[in-house]
Amino acid sequence: MAVKLRLKRQGRRNRSFYRITVVDSRHTRDGAVLEELGWYDPNAKEADKQLSLNLERAEHWLKAGAQPTQTVGSLIRRRKASAGPQA
């Protein structure tokens, strides 16, 4: 089973909101998910309210062989940068 980390679109027209999900790559964009890792709101004014991501679970899925889409990969990198250096 090929697993991907991808965005699932929600919200209304012209006010999109996305959930960051783990899905089987054979399912549709808004189809069944294995796990929800967080959300992304590109329309939020404050940067801290744009992204919520369970980084620990995302790392787990990446180590298990899941492939992130280009957008989700950049969101993970942004979340790691905002988390700061690990002690």
> Domain ranges in the chain?
3-83
Which candidate, 38, 27, 28, places its Cα nearest to that of 72? 38
Instruction: Read off the pTM.
Output: 0.86
List the structure tokens of 54: 């369970």
Dihedral-angle region of residue 39 (phi above 0 means left; psi in -120 to 50 means alpha; beta otherwise): beta
Fold of 3-83: S16 Ribosomal Protein; Chain: A; (3.30.1320)
Task: In whole angstroms, give the CA distance from residue 56 to residue 72.
Answer: 15
Tens-digit pLDDT profile for residues 42-65? 999 988 889 999 999 999 999 999
Tens-digit pLDDT profile for residues 3-33? 999 999 999 999 999 999 999 988 888 888 8
Phi, psi (deg, nearest 5) at residue 16: -75, 150
